[in-house]
A and B are shown apart, each in its own frame.
Chain A
Amino acid sequence: GAGVSQSPSNKVTEKGKDVELRCDPISGHTALYWYRQSLGQGLEFLIYFQGNSAPDKSGLPSDRFSAERTGGSVSTLTIQRTQQEDSAVYLCASSFNLREAFFGQGTRLTVV
């Protein structure tokens, strides 16, 4: 695709529900990153994929968070039993071989 695409753009969910956030990277990009940004805060690293494997999962806040990437392309970030503190913008970026990374428009998650 022309750019990184994330869906949905906005998600409102009830506390305790599970949510899935999707990221479609730029075609051919080998690396894929997930970040979280709370209101007025910086980017918090969550997880990084190289191909389908995740060499660095160190940023996942708890075991309620998981992510996968299939076919070296689409990635899904899943949050189980959502809590209010999970409310944030979730950003995905992709890059090719340690070169420039480009971001999607983000998914704004609100847990009520």
Chain B
Amino acid sequence: QKEVEQNSGPLSVPEGAIASLNCTYSDRGSQSFFWYRQYSGKSPELIMSIYSNGDKEDGRFTAQLNKASQYVSLLIRDSQPSDSATYLCAVIMAYKLSFGAGTTVTVRA
């Protein structure tokens, strides 16, 4: 079992729609969860962090965490062409920052 798994994608959404990204993780004791955005040829950029169960909203982004289900998600509302990128789920497990393989999102104008 991979430590961090993401829905494989790619995900194509029309401009203005909601993009939904999912992630599961293997270590029930994990406490820190992150979403990164990576544009082609660039390094990953942190967009959201979440540490407790529930929802966390920042602008058009909402992160959701359910530790009992070992599940974390990211919603992108009112998707824009500039949101087209690969989104990486990351979890700190046993002090190591582990990443999923990423989901590529394309927003169609």
Task: Please list the residues of chain A having a beta carbon within 8 angstroms of any beta carbon in chain B.
Answer: 31, 33, 35, 42-43, 45, 48, 50, 55-56, 89, 91, 93, 95, 98-106
Chain A contacts for B102, CB-based, 8 A: 42
A50: nearest chain-B partner, CB-CB: B95
Q: How far is the CA of A101 from the CA of B49 in the complex (A)?
A: 10
- B43 close to A33 (CB less than 8 A): no
The reply to whether A43 and B96 contact each other, CB–CB distance below 8 Å, is no
Complex Cα distance, B90 from A91, in Å, reads 15
Known: A91-B43, A91-B44. 4 other contacts (CB 8 A): A98-B92, A101-B97, A102-B46, A105-B43
Q: Please report B residues at the A interface, Cβ cutoff 8 Å.
A: 31-32, 34, 43-46, 49, 88, 90, 92, 94-102
> How close is B21's CB to chain A, nearest CB, in angstroms?
15
Chain B interface, DSSP helix/strand/loop, else mixed: strand
**Residues of the A chain whose Cβ atoms lie less than 8 Å from the Cβ of B94:** 56
- A100, B49: Cα distance in complex, Å: 7
